[in-house]
Amino acid sequence: MLFGKSIVHSQILSKTETTLADDMKLVSEVLLKDRKATAEFIERYTDSVYSYVRRRTMPRADVVEDLVQEVFLAAWHSLGNFRGDSSLRHWLLGIARHKVEDFYRMRLREHEMPDEIDGDISEWAVTPAFEEGLDQKLNLEKTHQVLARLPEAYGLVLLWRYMEQRSVREMAERMGKTEKAVERLLARAREQFRKEWNHAGA
Amino acid sequence: MPAHDWDGRFSRMLGDLPEAAPEETASSRLKARVYSALVRAQQETGPLQSLTKCEEAGRGLCMWEKLVQISPIGEKAKEPFLCWTCHARVLGEHIEKAPIWWAHCPYADFQKR
């Protein structure tokens, strides 16, 4: 029969159900350039990579899709090195992290660093609304909104420093700037974030 | 000047974001686009796995792939990324919930889940 009942389509497992054996089997099939296995690879891991990249590029939602594609292409080029020491998802997120940091570095390198901290930057002038928001870790949506309203360099430098937990020294080295310049940029970014936060209201 | 721990405060707020929010879902359009790019990259390094071997590995072929597979043409002609010439790919890459329904089409499958 020409279009008879086909072989049962492989079950797509959720991220939490995949095992190392599943990962290794899928990797070997993708390396053999099995187009159907490649589709399963994309289906299984795109959400994780997308979610990871999106949260780290909030001020620049327009670059998310390109970065996700770059992650998978880079993964293909080094898939032969995957040894299963960690899950495939974890391995892919490692590549995503590099791609995101390359993006931060590239965008912030182009940004003109402030020479001085302006007189009106007064981080010690804490307002109750901001304190409350920080201490209660509340309102993720508001955090996203505030980050999206910041100038690109401010949003990215905050994400790189606090979400990726990179030291000022590491950031300065990767950007080819001085630590002082990065500190000044961070101070401005924090101040602008605080202003936007309070302006956005409760 | 009171010594506020700004690094600590921002770390707590932004550092907790990924764990606090549920995983977001990529569009089927993005999956389609990434899939096409990846298979094309695979193809640049040599022929893809044959359709017959793909099927033997337990994954079904779409009706167009099946037609090509049983056609009396040389195996070389069956190796390329056939989806590249298929309208399902174009629809899948540009339209969310594209009208593609046939079985075992990766572009249709991306939209189901």
Q: What ipTM goes with this model?
A: 0.88
Task: Choose the weakest-confidence range: A35-44, A53-62, A136-145, A149-158.
Answer: A136-145
pLDDT over 90 percentage in chain A: 52
Q: In the predicted model, is pLDDT for residue A50 greater than 90? A: yes
Q: Do B30 and A65 touch (CB under 8 A)?
A: yes
Calculate mean pLDDT across residues B19-30: 77
Mean pLDDT lowest among A67-71, A188-192, B45-49, B76-80: B76-80
User: In the predicted model, what is the mean pLDDT of chain A?
Assistant: 82
**Boundaries of every domain in chain B:** 27-112
pLDDT given at position A114: 64
Smallest CA–CA separation between B81 and chain A, in Å?
Answer: 8
In this prediction the pTM is: 0.80
**Residue B18 contacts A, CB cutoff 8 Å:** yes
A139/B contact by beta carbon, under 8 A:
no
Q: pLDDT tens digits for A69-120?
A: 999 999 999 999 999 889 999 999 999 999 999 999 988 887 776 665 555 5
CA pair distance B78, B100, nearest whole angstrom: 23
Provide the pLDDT for residue B79. Answer: 84
Residue A73's identity, in one-letter code, is L
Q: Looking at the predicted structure, is the pLDDT value of residue A164 above 90?
A: no
**Are B109 and A43 a contacting pair at CB < 8 A?**
yes
Q: Do A38 and B38 touch (CB under 8 A)?
A: yes
- Res. A134: pLDDT tops 70: no
Decide if B112 touches A, using CB distance below 8 A.
Answer: no
The whole-angstrom separation of Cα A90 and Cα A29 is: 19
DSSP H or E segment with residue A154:
helix A152-158
B13–A134 CB contact, under 8 Å:
yes
34-53 of A, contacting B, C-beta below 8 A: 34-43, 46-52
- If pLDDT is split at 50, 70 and 90, which confidence band does B113 have? low
Provide the pLDDT confidence category of residue A192 given band limits of 50, 70 and 90.
very high
Residues 62-91 of B with CB under 8 A from A: 63, 66, 70, 81, 83
A1 in contact with chain B, both atoms CB, cutoff 8 A:
no
Whole-number Å distance between alpha carbons of B32 and B36: 6
Choose the weakest-confidence range: A37-41, A120-124, A178-182: A120-124
| End-to-end CA, chain A | 65
What confidence score (pLDDT) does residue A62 get?
82
Nearest C-alpha of chain B: how many angstroms from A48? 7
Q: Which of A1, A16, A33 to mutate to test the interface with B (most CBs of B within 10 A)?
A: A33
Local confidence band at A8 (pLDDT 50, 70, 90 cut-offs): very low
Which of the two residues, B37 and B23, has the higher pLDDT score?
B37
pLDDT digits (tens, 9 = 90+) for A23-37: 999 999 999 999 999
* Interface check A11 vs B, CB under 8 A: no
Average confidence (pLDDT) over A115-126: 54
CB contact under 8 A, A36 and B57: yes
* Spatial contact of B53 and A174, defined as CB atoms under 8 Å apart: no
Give all domains of chain A, ordered by start, each with its CATH number. 20-110 (1.10.1740.10), 128-200 (1.20.140.160)
Distance CA(A125)–CA(A117), nearest Å, equals 15
B3 falls in which pLDDT band (50, 70, 90)?
very low
* Angle value at C-alpha B24, between A132 and A135, nearest 5 degrees: 10
Q: Is A21 left (phi over 0), alpha (psi -120 to 50) or beta?
A: alpha
Confidence of residue A201 (pLDDT cuts 50, 70, 90): low
- To test the contact with chain B by mutation, choose from A5, A35, A43, A54 the residue with the greatest count of B C-beta atoms within 10 A, namely A35
